[in-house]
């Protein structure tokens, strides 16, 4: 991702924290991560996040999705120290379409990004509005997409090791690279 794109997306993401009335420190604002997953189309497939804490036991993050932006399908596999990351998403602003393994929902509210449909297999839909939450258990394929106004999601989980996530799309690079 180009540096100017990183700053553009970062600035947009910060406005969503304001919309959700989430107060951030200056350090948190500086450390906001913009993940484009190595695909070069961050406004379509991407995620902006702040990690508050990530210890040997727990992790807390804030996630921002721009309107229609998708975090690609992935799972949190068994690790040397546990059965995989368990996470709870709580919607703070906007609407989030979350998809997990299970019976496919007919007439879904969202679809995978155009051209990348082959990399999406989980289609049981859970729609989260502000104040609603859902827990994703370890090793469960899932992906999520913001509604038309964008979204802010608080994530509470066991230890996060993002670099160990397994993505359905082999092109994905979880750790951002900024030119």
Per-residue pLDDT reduced to its tens digit, 45-79: 999 999 999 999 999 999 999 999 999 999 999 99
pLDDT at 175: 74
Ordered by where they begin, the domains of the chain are 3-167 (2.60.120.10)
Positions of E strands within the chain: 33-35, 47-54, 58-65, 70-75, 87-100, 124-128, 133-136, 142-158, 166-167
User: Is 80 a residue whose pLDDT tops 90?
Assistant: yes
Average the pLDDT over 79-104 and give the result.
97
């Amino acid at each position: 991702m180009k540096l100017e794109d990183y700053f553009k997306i970062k600035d947009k993401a910060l406005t969503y924290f304001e919309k959700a009335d989430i107060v951030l420190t200056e350090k948190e604002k500086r450390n906001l991560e913009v993940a484009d997953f190595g695909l070069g189309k961050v406004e379509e497939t991407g995620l902006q996040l702040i990690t508050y804490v990530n210890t040997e036991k727990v992790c807390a993050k804030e996630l921002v999705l721009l309107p229609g932006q998708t975090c690609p399908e992935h799972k949190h596999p068994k690790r040397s120290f546990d059965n995989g990351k368990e996470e709870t998403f709580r919607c703070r602003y906007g609407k989030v379409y979350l998809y997990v393994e299970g019976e496919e929902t007919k007439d879904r509210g969202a679809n995978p990004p155009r051209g990348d449909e082959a990399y999406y297999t989980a289609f049981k839909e859970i729609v989260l509005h502000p104040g609603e939450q859902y827990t994703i258990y370890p090793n469960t394929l899932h992906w999520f997409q913001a509604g038309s106004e964008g979204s802010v999601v608080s994530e509470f989980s066991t230890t996060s090791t993002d670099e160990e996530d397994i993505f359905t799309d082999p092109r994905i690079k979880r750790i951002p690279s900024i030119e």
